[in-house]
Amino acid sequence: MRRITALPALALTGVLALSACGSGEGEGGPVQLRFLSLAWQTQSIEANERLVQEWNDTHPDIQVEYVQGSWDNVNDQLLTGFEAGDPPDIIHNESSALAGYAARGYLADLGDMLPQELKDDIRAEAWETATFDGQVVGVPFLQESQVFIANREVLEDSGVRIPTSEEPWTWDEFAEVSEELTTEDRYAVAWPLGSPVNRVLNLSLNFGGTFFEVAEDGTASMRVGEQEREVLQRIHEQLYEDETAAPETVGMSGSDPLPAFYAGEYAMIQGGVYTRQQVVEQAPEDFEWVTIPPLVGDTAEQGAVSQTLSVAADSAHPEEAAEFLSFFLSAENQVDLALGDWLLPTSREAAQAPELNTEENDWDVATASADNLVMAPYLKVQGFDEWKNRVAQPALEEYFGGAITIDELAQRLETEGDDVLGRYR
Amino acid sequence: MVITKGRRAGGRALQYTALLGYLAFLAFPLVWLVSTAFKTSREMARLDPTWIPLEPTLDNFVQALGEQDIIGAAQRSLVVALASAVLVVAMALPASYALARHRSRLNAAALGWVLVSQVFPFILLIIPLFMILRQLGLVNSLAGLVIVHATFCLPFVLWMLQGYVRGVPRELEEAAGVDGAGRWRTLWSVVAPLLAPGVVAALMFGFVSSWNEFLFALILLKDPQIQTLPLALVRFTGPEGVVRLGPLAAASLMATVPSLVFFSFIQRRLKGGMVAGAVKG
């Protein structure tokens, strides 16, 4: 029993000792900024940490503390920080989360704090993703396009035309090719549609499908017309009529079908450009692959969200934080960040970098696809997150699962969607 | 009915087979974790998974240790979990004794309220809690996290322990009183040994709850130097459920060691406690 009775004493000693572990903020001295980063891949973390270290070495009067967050929980963390008046100074997030924060006044307007050089360098379409009511609440720096990764050997053996950025496939040609590539023991394509909403909305812009009508006062309503139905129907047809798409992948997340793809069960897999990294790291060494550029409908346009860096409105040092952003997201640094995440830079100058235009790992195809990226219309919609989670996600799951028709889907998206969006008016 | 030696042996073999099957079932996650931690990315992506890595590698450990302070985070988690477990038991033990021994309608209502308090989602409480802790200067401190963990664990531990107290026959205490033992002597020499298994179970529950807790740690601990293990592990996950499985498995494997040590230690106490109450000395 002596050992057990020792435990309370040990614990109390521990608690007392722990109370000394809090980090205090010293008065005077250099400005201290906290940078919440969501980098999670090895190269990306290295690039982030290296750039912060470089900044700290050259700016002794403005020191940045690198804090790692995680994509899954960042908004819980931020909301608490904002509500309690203690957010990180510099915030890494994606533009789809910014509308709500901007509406509540949580983010600083960076419009007058950023150098003209940076403003001019980043594509206007990217700036749109982080501009709300004329306020620039984030600097967009990484984007992704939707592509297919194909088994090159299968494509060559089938004799189909391998598309290039200059001559991409149309959706019609893609459907024809898919028929060619489908055999008794192989589907042409795997559509991992476990989280289909953003993907479908982004691709629907190929046919002008926007899903939301946003009035000048910012209120939004749903519209599921012919243009919005086009991509939905084409995917559905592949699954249930042409039977060229693997139905078992419908509920999967992006990387789940990769092992079967490497094993030759699918000729192509749909995903973001970052999927290339997983293929490079995981595929058998003799596996040959090729990136299929974005498909073309009426246009090749795709909706895009951006990874962004913002400054908290409650930050005590917004000017200094904006100064750090300007350094961190310079063209030169965006090249490293893009390479680290296998994504596309928003900087025009960065997009010209040789490393991002080499044929190695199809960087040239990936970088060229950035030209088709425009602001995803849903970024401006108040209540999009709730619409996505409560209405669109379950309805699309049922549609792609073959449980409801396109008319039923359209009706649900419109009626239930308007109910949700109405609460944000 | 005569049971032959052969039938007895057959039954025994069946028992051992079932036991082995059960052990294999329980061990599967750990074995798979170990296997994954030593696999290359290519091997992890095979359609036909392998039990034993074909080309064992330490790369995952190198990456995990290089990118995150796994060892430090595990140490901090261990300290926080131990302190939380002990604190919650220290708070719950006298309260549970009072609730169990001095029963009234008020006690029943109190116990009901204790359980009701468990149904509030943490996310509703986190903002006011954060503001209170900030007023107290306990944000960004492990002490603050210990207090929060202990507080949120308290209702269930209280519920657990009052059940154990009720399991100790009141007559034993009365008999000790007749033998001349005072209140404290009775509690210490008679009740405490019989409660030991319950206390150990409560400690285990408190430890595991705190060891795994993520949300409060995420909100409260801003300084990277004091963050706990769940915060370090989650950084191997990306958006939309994408995971860097190799480093995550390696980090998780390293992280299990402190808790295994704790449980191997406390498990012996659990057995000791059970036996200690069997004979009144």
Kind of pairing, strands A266-272 and A187-190? parallel
The answer to whether residue B69 neighbours chain A at the CB level (below 8 Å) is: no
Give the sheet arrangement for strand A187-190, strand by strand. Answer: A187-190, A266-272, A146-151, A289-292
Query: Are A4 and B269 an interchain contact pair (Cβ–Cβ within 8 Å)?
Result: yes
Residues in chain B with CB shorter than 8 Å from the CB of A3 are 269
> Quick one: chain A helix, strand, coil %, rounded to 5?
50, 20, 35
pLDDT score of A9 more than 80: no
CB-based contact B237 A40, cutoff 8 Å: yes
Rounded Cα distance between B108 and B89, Å, is 21
| Contact (CB<8Å) B42/A285 | yes
What local confidence, expressed as pLDDT, does residue B146 receive?
Answer: 96
Of B83, B196, B241, the CB nearest to A14: B83
Q: What is the pLDDT of residue B104?
A: 77
Q: Phi then psi for B228, rounded to 5 degrees?
A: -95, 175
Q: Which residues of A touch B237 (CB under 8 A)?
A: 40, 70-72
Structure tokens at A399: 């549609």
> Which has more confidence, A28 or B50?
B50
The string of DSSP codes covering B162-224 is: HHHHHHS-HHHHHHHHHTT--HHHHIIIIIHHHHHHHHHHHHHHHHHHHHH--HHHHHH--SG
Residue A6: predicted pLDDT:
45
User: Best mutation site among B76, B125, B142 for testing chain A: the one with the most A CBs within 10 Å?
Assistant: B142
DSSP B15: H
C-alpha to C-alpha distance for A232 and A407, rounded to whole angstroms: 11
Of B46, B67, B87, the CB nearest to A259: B46
Q: Report the gap between the CA of A255 and the closest CA in chain B (Å).
A: 7
**CATH code at B61-271:** 1.10.3720.10
pLDDT higher than threshold 80 for residue A145:
yes
Quick check: do A31-144+304-364 and A146-298+377-422 share a fold?
yes
Instruction: State yes or no: pLDDT of B272 exceeds 60.
Output: no
pLDDT of residue B145 exceeding 70, the answer is yes
Most confident of A99-103, A198-202, A383-387, B173-177: A198-202
Task: Express each pLDDT in B86-126 by its tens digit.
Answer: 999 999 999 888 888 887 778 778 777 777 777 777 777 88
Q: What's the mean pLDDT when you consider all of chain B?
A: 85
Mean pLDDT (chain A) is 91
Do residue B218 and residue A263 have CB atoms under 8 angstroms apart? no
Provide, as residue numbers in chain B, all residues whose Cβ is less than 8 Å from the Cβ of A15: 83, 87, 143, 146-147
pLDDT at site A12: 44
Q: Which pLDDT belongs to residue A27?
A: 58
Find how far residue A49's CA is from the centre of its chain. 21
pLDDT at A217 over 80: no
Least trusted range by pLDDT, from A139-148, A281-290, A294-303, B251-260:
B251-260
Comparing alpha-carbon positions, the chain A residue that sits nearest to B62 is: A42
Tell me the chain B residues in contact with residue A285 when contact means C-beta distances shorter than 8 Å: 42
Task: Specify the range with the lowest mean pLDDT, choosing from A99-108, A328-337, B125-134.
Answer: B125-134
Out of B143, B147, B234, whose CB is closest to A72?
A: B234
pLDDT at A1 over 50: no
Tokens linked to A314: 């409650």
> Quick one: how far is CA B130 from the chain centroid?
24
Nearest residue to A77 (alpha-carbon basis) of A61, A62, A93: A93
Nearest to A32 by CA among A295, A317, A232: A317
pLDDT of residue B92: 92
CATH homologous superfamily of A31-144+304-364 equals Periplasmic binding protein-like II (3.40.190.10)
Least confident of A39-53, B55-69, B174-188: B174-188
Rounded mean pLDDT of A144-158? 97
Q: What is the pTM of this model?
A: 0.83
Percentage with pLDDT > 90 across chain B: 35
Q: pLDDT > 70: what percent of chain A? A: 93
Contacts of B147 in chain A (CB under 8 A): 15
Using a CB-CB distance cutoff of 8 angstroms, which residues of chain A are in contact with residue B87? 11-12, 15
Phi-psi region of A243 (alpha: psi -120 to 50; beta: other; left: phi over 0): left
pLDDT of residue A39 exceeding 60: yes
Q: Is residue A322's pLDDT more than 90?
A: yes
Whether chain B has a CB inside 8 Å of the CB on A42: the answer is yes
Cβ contacts of B196 on chain A, cutoff 8 Å: 1, 4
Higher local confidence (pLDDT), B150 or B273: B150
User: In angstroms, what separates the C-alpha of B198 from chain A's closest C-alpha?
Assistant: 13
pLDDT for res A300: 95
For the ranges B105-114, B207-216, B253-262, the one whose mean pLDDT is highest: B207-216
ipTM value, please give it: 0.78
CATH code for the part of the protein at A146-298+377-422 = 3.40.190.10
Res B48 pLDDT > 90: no
Q: How confident is the model at residue B281 (pLDDT cuts 50, 70, 90)?
A: very low
CA–CA separation, B3 vs A214, rounded Å? 82
Cβ proximity of B31 and B39 under 8 Å: no
Residue type, B194: L
Long-range contacts of B31-37 (CB under 8 A, 24+ apart): B33/B249, B33/B252, B33/B253, B33/B256, B34/B253, B36/B245, B36/B246, B36/B249, B37/B61, B37/B246, B37/B249, B37/B250, B37/B252, B37/B253
Distance between CA A202 and CA A421 in Å, rounded? 20
Q: Kindly provide the b/e burial profile for residues A304-337, where b requires at least 16 CB atoms within 10 angstroms of the residue's own CB.
A: bbbbbbbbbbbbebbebbbbbbbbbbbbebbbbb
Judged against a pLDDT cut of 80, whether residue A232 lies above it is answered with: yes
What pLDDT sits at residue A21? 41
Q: How would DSSP label each residue in A316-376?
A: S-HHHHHHHHHHHTSHHHHHHHHHHHT-EESBHHHHT-GGGS-SGGGHHHHHHHGGGEEE-
For chain B, domain boundaries: 4-56, 61-271
Interface test with B, best of A2, A4, A38, A270 (most B CBs within 10 A): A4
How many CB pairs (< 8 A) connect A and B? 157
Type and span of the H or E element at B157: helix B142-167
More confident position, A265 or B267: A265
Q: The tokens of A192 are what?
A: 């991992």
Residue A42's pLDDT band (boundaries 50, 70, 90)? confident
Q: B34 or A26: which carries more pLDDT confidence?
A: B34
The answer on pLDDT for A10 being more than 60 is no
Q: How confident is the model at residue A331 (pLDDT cuts 50, 70, 90)?
A: very high
Whether chain A has a CB inside 8 Å of the CB on B94: the answer is no
Say what the pLDDT of residue B239 is: 80
Asked if A162 and A155 touch (Cβ cutoff 8 Å), the reply is yes
The percentage of residues in chain A with a pLDDT greater than 90, rounded to a whole number, is 80
Mean pLDDT value of segment A327-335:
96
Is A113 in contact with A324 (CB distance < 8 Å)? no
Top-confidence residue, A43 or B274: A43
Whole-angstrom distance, CA of residue B246 vs CA of residue B33: 9
Domain locations in chain A? 31-144+304-364, 146-298+377-422
Cβ–Cβ < 8 Å for A287, A225: no
Under a CB-based contact definition with an 8 Å cutoff, are residues B203 and B226 in contact? no
- Give the pLDDT band of residue B207 (cuts 50, 70, 90): very high
Q: Which residue has the higher pLDDT, A88 or B10?
A: A88
Query: pLDDT value at position A7?
Result: 43
Average pLDDT, stretch A35-58?
Answer: 94
* Position with higher pLDDT, A310 vs A22: A310
